[in-house]
Amino acid sequence: SGGYSFHLKLQVFQVVGDRIEDLLSDHPEPTKLTDTPSGVVVEGLKGVSVSVVEDGARTLEMARRRQDPSKRDRASTVMALEVTQADYFAGWGLFARLMIVATPALDCLAEDRGLVQLREGFDTFRGVFHLRTLVSSWQPRHPGDVHGSVLTWLLRDMLCGGSCSATVMLCLRQQQPSVSKALLEFLEGFAKVETNPVCCD
């Protein structure tokens, strides 16, 4: 109808150590994580409006080119999409958020945390280790301190039983049984994490 509108905003950034780096800006601003009723918001990030598939593909390619290859094995890449739909004549509106987090920085889970921190620095894999701690000790209504790292703060709604759906996938390494074992144990811990998605008709 004539009153219908659709808007999609895309943000792409990476978490390096315990810092957020905007991948859509040549001159990134300082960022700040904020808790809101609709989810965790990263203030200071550039957002790109996407109207056609080609715009989205160009934006993702631009983000990929800004990534530093030397940081790739120690960083988590995040793609956040916000979709708003509304029909002003019919009197309804919908808002949805999708966040995809890709991190190759999980091999450290097969090693002693103290040794990794001595070798790589305290913050390099802080988020991954803190995520494992929260998942392994997760209890309903007692999720632990998600603010202990940037990565876990971004995953607040999943870890705190929020209104969301979550899927966790891992790729296992060939000929690295200790790493595969650590990753499978990490994945097993997610089985007890509960969310409470709410659908509005």
Predicted pLDDT of residue 73: 86
Q: State yes or no: pLDDT of 38 exceeds 90.
A: no
Mean pLDDT score, 40-65: 92
Q: Residue 24: which of 44, 3, 51, 53 has the closest Cα?
A: 44
Binning pLDDT at 50, 70 and 90, where does residue 11 land? very high
> What CA–CA distances, in Å, run from 35 to 85, 90, 154, 157, 164?
23, 31, 9, 10, 15
Binning pLDDT at 50, 70 and 90, where does residue 133 land? very high
Q: At what angle do helices 126-136 and 177-189 cross, to 10 degrees?
A: 50
Predicted pLDDT of residue 52: 87
Tens-digit pLDDT profile for residues 58-115: 999 999 999 988 888 889 999 999 999 898 888 888 888 999 999 887 889 999 999 9
Q: What is the 3-state secondary structure (H, E, C) of 164-187?
A: CCCCCCCCCCCCCHHHHHHHHHHH
- Residue 35 pairs with which residues in a beta bridge? 40
Q: State yes or no: pLDDT of 53 exceeds 60.
A: yes
Predicted pLDDT of residue 181: 92
- Most distant CA atoms of the chain, gap in Å: 62
